Amino acid sequence: MAHNISLAKLSSRCDIKYLSDDLLHQIFIRVPLRSIVACKCVSNGWLALISSPNFIKQFTSHQYSLLKSILIFVTPHELILAFSQQNQPLEIPIPSPLDMIIKGTGSICGCSNGLFLCSKNRDTCATGCYVYDPLVKECIHIPDLWARRENRYAVGFVCKPKQMVSNRYWDQRDFHVVIIETTCVERMFDIKVDIFSSKKGQWEHIFMYFLDSFTFCPHRLLSCSYSGGLYFMGKTNIFVFNPYTTGRYTIDYPLEVDSTNITSFGFLGISCGSLRIADIRQNDLRVWKLVGKNHWDLVHRIDLSTKLPQKFCANYQKSVGGFHPYDGDIVYLHSYADGVFVCNLRDEKFEVVPGYEKTNLSPFQLEISDLVLPQESRVITIN
């Protein structure tokens, strides 16, 4: 009986509630994000430990030691890659899956310099558009266009960076919303472009003519914002439009790629200040950097079949999910079934980001610095 009593005492002392904060800390930094959010609800002590700045910093470093990034839910089922600058501490708490940036049922149409363009129906009507500032949680509603038809629309959004004047940021944000009606079937020589300017507060309509036609992809109707321009991936090339100057031109895809494959599973984005495009065909991953106006340099090529789990490699629906903005060697891969993988193509190191299976990865990347303003700055909505 004495033996049984001693075992009972020993068993009670092994309960998790008797563990020190240091041991709990080491356990919690190894728990997936979705589970660690649930752990906050267990007790006030756990909530305080998990919410402390020191834990958040070490959790991010341990969970994402390779990528130096976090994944944020912008809608209930849509993730976005968020990055903090190199050697800069994380200044905002890690958002939980229940703390989405975008509330409601809207769809994300674009992201530029910390602002999001959203729409109630971005594909067939492009109506109910609004610009959302997650820092102050305010919306800037965009007036609907008249005579909008039920059709397919390509949507673009670009915002100039906040400008400093006497150690303060301008209150007003300078952004453009671009909507292009397209059939996504026929080649287009004449393109009607509707442009909303935040400074003018109204829509303008222009018509463009192409000597060489352009065809939009039905699943690539959202643009990539880079250096004030909007880049739309088409069926055979890339359409570039600058809403500030109304300048436009096209860029060919790299000669070695199949345009159908790259528009289905590739990615167009920015890394290290340059425009890049990636293609993944079966398990052949390639990354190019744009040099000049219409020339692509191959910077990476690797066979993933011996680097990643066989299940992921055999998945036909895997795609390139994004680039790291500060490290040109890091690429993100994604599939709905298997989640997110991070690849360091220089060192050939690969890691899985746990807890994000059965979720969609949004094509937009966000820098944490865009969401963190100095205390003396303020933001006012645009009427």
Which residues, 6 or more positions from 197, have their beta carbon under 8 angstroms from its beta carbon? 176, 204, 243
Cα–Cα distance for residue pair 71/144, rounded to 1 Å: 32
pLDDT digits (tens, 9 = 90+) for 185-201: 667 677 889 999 999 99
pLDDT over 60 (residue 169): no
Q: Which residue has the higher pLDDT, 275 or 69?
A: 275
Task: Tell me: do 225 and 273 sit in the same domain.
Answer: no
Are residue 231 and residue 196 in the same domain, yes or no?
yes
The yes-or-no verdict on residue 60 having pLDDT over 70 is no
What pLDDT, on a 0 to 100 scale, did the predictor assign at position 290?
A: 95
> Which residue has better confidence, 95 or 312?
312
User: What CA–CA distances, in Å, run from 34 to 62, 97, 138, 265, 374?
Assistant: 15, 7, 27, 27, 30
Number of domains, the chain: 3
289 domain-assigned: yes
Residues 188 and 118 in one domain: yes
Tell me what pLDDT residue 300 has: 94
pLDDT value of position 308? 85
The reply to whether 154 falls in a domain is yes
Q: Is residue 366 part of a domain?
A: no
- Indicate if 110 and 248 belong to the same structural domain: yes
Residue 98 phi/psi, 5-degree rounding, is: -90, -5
pLDDT tens for 113-149 read: 888 898 876 655 567 888 988 777 788 889 887 666 6
What 8-state DSSP symbol labels residue 121? B
277 and 201 in a common domain: no
The answer for 170, left when phi > 0, alpha when psi is -120 to 50, beta otherwise, is beta
Q: Are residues 121 and 212 in the same domain?
A: yes
Report yes or no on 382 lying in a domain: no
Residue 47 in any domain: the answer is yes
Question: Which residue range forms the structural domain that includes residue 4?
Answer: 1-63
- The rounded mean pLDDT for the chain is 77
DSSP 39-104: HTTT-HHHHHHHHSHHHHHHHHHHHTTTT-EEEEEEETTEEEEEEPPTT----SPPPPTTS-SS-T
239: how many CB neighbours lie within 10 A of its CB?
24
Token pair 């959202």 in the structure block, residue: 222
Task: Output the pLDDT for position 74.
Answer: 73
Residues 201 and 222 in one domain: yes
290 with 276: CB under 8 angstroms?
yes
Domain boundary among 198, 222, 252: 252
Instruction: Tell me the average pLDDT across 58-82.
Output: 64
- Tell me, yes or no, whether 265 and 315 share the same domain: yes
Query: Do 87 and 122 belong to one domain?
Result: no
Give per-residue pLDDT as tens, 249-283: 889 999 989 999 999 999 999 988 899 999 999 89
Report pLDDT for 372.
Answer: 46
Question: What pLDDT was estimated at residue 277?
Answer: 96
Say yes or no: 53 and 71 in one domain.
no
Q: Of 7, 4, 28, whose CA–CA distance to 16 is shortest?
A: 28
pLDDT at 14 over 80: no
Asked if residue 40 belongs to a domain, the reply is yes
Percent of the chain exceeding pLDDT 90 equals 21
Dist. CA 227–CA 207, nearest whole Å: 23
What pLDDT sits at residue 340? 87
